[in-house]
Structure 1
């Protein structure tokens, strides 16, 4: 059995390769792909196969999927282009007779009002129409979406438009392990996993966790959606992405990133990473 991971030079894809290895998959049975194979040198040194796969280059996709049994399609980061990019991979998987394709979607994609959900749901429809056996990994929010900015936030405070909405976030490594489990399972096809962290927190809770770990007061400032988008733009975030982040906070305030099913921890067989653990790691 050969397992291919797209976006393996990225943060989630790299974790998935690690999770497959940790679960006993032989390095030679894993194909890590990226647009730039030079970024795969570390996994290649471990015996993992490295192939070029560019979502915008159908020829590279077809070559990468040659002889592959199961595929993890890590969603593209290029908002606005993702549907076409994902279609290229899905159609290639259909031509190659891939027996299972796992796709990293978003929590409750079929009912979410988040702007981020639109392309994910369109991709899910393409998967269904293509007839490729598939499993949907509807990932909730990543803890790293916050903690990657932890040091800056300790110095400048936390800003957002999430109100008192609760976020059931988990670490990338948690979601990556779930992807590995789904790829390895014998009966994954047709399954939809709504994945989120075991415990939820508000942005005020996040600021408190930063305060406790940093040993200094960190405040959360709640803004309107438009005010938050403007703050992000002033910090150098491109306006379209700032609008997406502000819209996500709107969704947080409405409870759209809260989930108490514990499907993720059940799937991976352990509790998900806590907020405190993630903050400790970020500030270590």
Structure 2
């Protein structure tokens, strides 16, 4: 199963489940708000959407300052040769580039198709994650036109029974959250001027993040960023916890892993959708200066029957 945030370009509400189906099926909501093909409730646009696959959940919101939601997410579950795999992709369109909302949506939908196919075949998740990111980048290249090149950040996660694989460009992040603060960790490193300033020892994290250029990204998806070299990393969870994948609309307000864990646990293990919604609400209440997207994947994964 796979779902993504989406709007039909003709103005209708396209079903995210059918839109992400490998068969190429396409269906829109009827007058009652339910998909005319699969019968699921269709999210009412991208300003706010909640996706629940049981094994993993996602919530996205426009926030308070942007006139549209330029974040996009896709979540999926697949059965591979070695068991269930949970998949997530988040992309944050760059507002200063053209068509940022289309860019993020195109990236997540294209990348998710690659990840799903690879997971079913039991392929190496590292290679599959890199291939998915590059496919997302090619999709943005196809959007480029006379108005300029759309751009977006990117982060993906593939979670199996024993390993987490994350892939990223830009400043959308993945965190491992656990009950023990010592086990909490940020799994990604931002491609941003702030991160580079801190790494060079020029300023502290607090000083760098206070800079007006803090969120200027140094890698992204887009036709103006060749050749595409995404980062990829793997992590073996030491025990129960939750993988948090998010855009900077959330971590702007709580960047430290232990602080996020204190907010998300233990609720994320038992009521992940409610917890994801609460994290988004926290960011909105804190100012909502950006679009906010949160995906939670509790670990260990639920059994195949639940998926």
Q: TM exceeds 0.5?
A: no
More strand by share: 2
More helix by share: 1
Greater gyration radius:
1
